[in-house]
Amino acid sequence: MAVGSAIMPLTENREQLSELFREHHRRVLTAAYRITGSMADAEDVAQVVFLRMIGGNGPPVANAGSYLYRAAINGALDLLRRRKTAAAEPLEEAAGIATAGRGSSPEAEASSRELGDWLRLAIGELSPKAAEMFTLRYVEELGNREIAQLMGTSQAVVAVTLHQTRSRLKKRLMQLEQERL
């Protein structure tokens, strides 16, 4: 049976699991990293996602790639909710790439990092559905049609949810800015 074709239990055989891991690990890890801002947290989320498959805790799925992707996003959002804050680690540092001489001041980098931390905190306070839709649209850059298909809903629901979510996040970020002052 081909990976991701017909509905299959995620733990059908070891070879299939290895193939799924090879094909989707990077996407799972990247999706989790974009949400958590921490490579260590992203690796933890990816590990949990794949361990669930091995442990037989995953449901039968029609598209294993989509399932893993959504599981990574939801796992990362759950992690943010549990912590309420996430220490951001720049991707360049996680990958061991030097960032010196890239043209941005330390103040600009600190401000950007702080804004990222606030955004992660605010996303962690959203409902699971709203947080997932927001992440799929603005972090993973999927269109409303793709999000609707992935989440089994209409484009209108996606559009309304995203509009309301942006308003909530804007209000929350303004509150966090005021608290800092």
Beta bridge mates, 8: 61
Task: Note down the domain range covering 35.
Answer: 14-180
Give domain status of residue 4, yes or no: no
pLDDT at 100: 44
pLDDT tens for residues 152-172? 899 898 989 999 999 998 898
Whether this prediction's pTM lies above 0.95 is answered by no
Give domain status of residue 9, yes or no: no
Give domain status of residue 173, yes or no: yes
Give domain status of residue 7, yes or no: no
Q: Which CATH number does the domain housing residue 158 bear?
A: 1.20.140.160
The total number of structural domains that make up the chain: 1
Out of 1-5, 51-55, 59-63, 172-176, pick the least confident: 1-5
Cα radius of gyration (the chain):
18
Give domain status of residue 8, yes or no: no
Q: Is 149 exposed, middle or buried (0-12, 13-18, 19+ CB in 10 A)?
A: middle
